[in-house]
Amino acid sequence: MLSEIMAAVRETGRLIRQADISKMAIRQKTSKRDLCTACDIEVQAQLFDKLAELMPEAQFIGEEQKNQPMSSGWCFVVDPIDGTSNFAHDFHHSCISVALVKDNTPVIGVVYNPYLDELFYAEKGSGAYLNGMPIHVNRVGLEDSIVGFGTCPYDLEYMQDTFALAQRVFEKSMDIRRTGSGALDLCYVASGRLDMFFELILRPWDYAAGSVIVTEAGGKITTVDDQPVNLRRDCSVVAGCEQAHAEFLKVYSDYKQG
Ligand code: IPD
Ligand code: CA
Ligand code: CA
């Protein structure tokens, strides 16, 4: 199943790589920051068909459709383009994210950056890989970490906390980064390109695939309150090696206590 999902995702990635954004219809969803392009719709439709062929009994949850709550059993959780504002700006840092979930637990994660032809993937219990090579999180403390973070662009009520925390983390780390794709941020943590990542609210399709990949790469992923991430709802996400993760949670709780 993993290799079939990987093939489907790779093939669909062509739609993103070959897209001409200057000619594309772009719609605003909840705000000017929250975009949906014709390519998001096309990628999702193509994945829907390909994944349904692989596992007809599985539910399909995708960002660009109205979804039913996740039922028990098998379910695909799909972000057709993670990093849509990057895509709409021709920034070339976006990906397709597909998780296969069984009874609310992700068992396969596949994240594909078509611009670099980089395929990150993991199956529960079998390690994490980038284009066939095993990947691992870095074992460093916060002090030596480059920390990626997301700005919760569609939920401005998190803005104050996000930037205050980013400042604190910046003071205690090596540096911070904002790339515009949460799913790739998680894969970058898994592969040691980033040491840590946090965002105060994400949707299941942003982190479902990345969560298996981080865990299989030896990392830890939880909410900022140190609870397991739960695919049935939106939640905060913190990912990194054990040490950096724990040190971030301390920074967060100190911040919260004022
Ligand atoms: C967004 C990206 C972004 C993150 C947002 C996500 P989208 O997903 O992952 O990095 O900050 O919270 O919603 O809308 O590009 O699929
Ligand atoms: Ca997303
Ligand atoms: Ca998306």
Q: In CATH, what number is assigned to the domain containing residue 103? A: 3.30.540.10
14 and 54 fall within a common domain: yes
Q: Does ligand 1 have an atom closer than 6 angstroms to the CB of 36? A: no
Instruction: Examine the domain organization and report whether 73 and 129 are in the same domain.
Output: yes
**Nearest ligand, measured from the Cα of 34:** 1
Residue having the nearest C-alpha atom to atom 11 of ligand 1: 150
68 and 162 fall within a common domain: no
Contact 94, 87 (CB under 8 A): yes
Identity of residue 164: A
- H or E element: which one contains 175? strand 175-177
User: How confident is the model over 148-166, as pLDDT tens digits?
Assistant: 999 999 999 999 999 999 9
72 shares its domain with 190: no
- State whether the beta carbon of 237 lies less than 6 angstroms from ligand 1: no
Question: Residue 238: its pLDDT value, please?
Answer: 98
Which tokens is 223 given?
């909410």
Last residue of a domain, one of 116, 134, 152: 134
What is the C-alpha separation between 86 and 69, in angstroms, rounded?
29
pLDDT reported for residue 258:
84
CB within 8 Å of 74: residues ≥ 6 apart: 55, 57, 58, 59, 100, 101, 102
Pocket test for ligand 1, best of 206, 234, 235 (most atoms within 8 A of CB): 206
Are residue 90 and residue 122 in the same domain, yes or no? yes
For residue 127, what are the contacts with CB-CB under 8 A and spacing of at least 6?
Answer: 134, 216, 217
Identify whether residues 58 and 95 lie together within a single domain.
yes
Per DSSP bridges, beta strands 74-82 and 95-102 are: antiparallel
What is the pLDDT averaged over residues 75-82? Answer: 98
Q: 106 and 161: one domain?
A: no
- Tell me how far the alpha carbon of residue 82 lies from the centroid of ligand 2, in angstroms: 4
Q: How far is the CA of 37 from the centre of ligand 3 (A)?
A: 10
- Report the CATH number that the domain containing residue 152 is assigned in CATH: 3.40.190.80
The rounded distance, in Å, linking the Cα atoms of 257 and 12 is 46
| Structural domain boundaries enclosing 112 | 2-134
Among the candidates 68, 103, 134, a domain finishes at 134
Q: Are residues 123 and 162 in the same domain?
A: no
Q: Which atom of ligand 1 is nearest to the CA of 85?
A: 15
111: left (phi > 0), else alpha (psi -120 to 50), else beta? beta
The CA distance from 1 to 22, in Å, is 36
Q: Are residues 148 and 127 in the same domain?
A: no
Position 258, amino acid? G
What tokens appear for 8 in the block? 């489907």
44 lines ligand 1 (CB under 6 A): no
Do 124 and 150 belong together in one domain?
A: no
Average pLDDT of 244-257?
96
My answer on whether 10 and 106 are in the same domain is yes
What number does the ligand 1 atom closest to the CA of 86 have?
Answer: 15
Q: Are residues 234 and 150 in the same domain?
A: yes
Number of domains composing the chain: 2
Q: Which two tokens stand for residue 89?
A: 């700006």
Q: What pLDDT does residue 228 have?
A: 96
For the question of whether the overall pTM of this predicted structure is more than 0.95, the answer is yes
The three-class DSSP label of residue 200 is strand
pLDDT tens track for 20-52? 999 998 999 988 898 899 999 999 999 999 999
| b/e per residue 110-123 (b: at least 16 CB within 10 A) | bbbbbbeeebbbbb
**The ligand 1 atom nearest the CA atom of 82:** 16
Determine if ligand 1 sits within 6 Å of the CB of residue 151: yes
Among 89, 116, 134, which residue terminates a domain?
Answer: 134
